[in-house]
Amino acid sequence: MKEFIKEFKKFALKGNVFDMAIGVVVGGAFSKIVSSLVKDIIMPLIGILTGGINFEGLSVNVGSATLTYGVFIQNVIDFLIIALVIFCVIKSINHMNERIHGKKEEAAKEPSKEELLLTEIRDLLKEQNK
């Protein structure tokens, strides 16, 4: 049991857990901003382009149930915008990582003076042993 608690403390106190928690909080706030963007700006503009349709009010009655598919359409647009933004952020991060790691790989491909000297010594020793 003590080992389990030790492992849990080690896991919980890692920086990654705190970073993840911060990401969840910021993500929640970001979601509210995107929802407001869709509801208050994008959907009214789409409504104007489609002849004044209010998507939030779109619904159909099936028996005693009311299906508000307009709200569903807004949520789909919310998701698509969030997915697009996340895609762009991840793509930017990957591009920066490629630039950083790509330069390191290029530098690593060129042998250092020590490596060249050691290679030369190795080749000379091989020739002497023949």
> For the segment 47-92, what is each residue's pLDDT rounded down to a tens digit?
888 887 777 788 899 999 999 998 888 888 888 887 887 788 888 8
Of 55, 51, 30, give the one whose Cα is nearest residue 40.
55
Predicted TM-score of the model (pTM)? 0.52
Assigned CATH topology for domain 2-129 = 1.10.1200
Q: Over range 90-110, report the average pLDDT.
A: 76
Can you give the residue ranges of every domain in the chain? 2-129
Report helix angle 69-109 to 15-37, nearest 10.
140
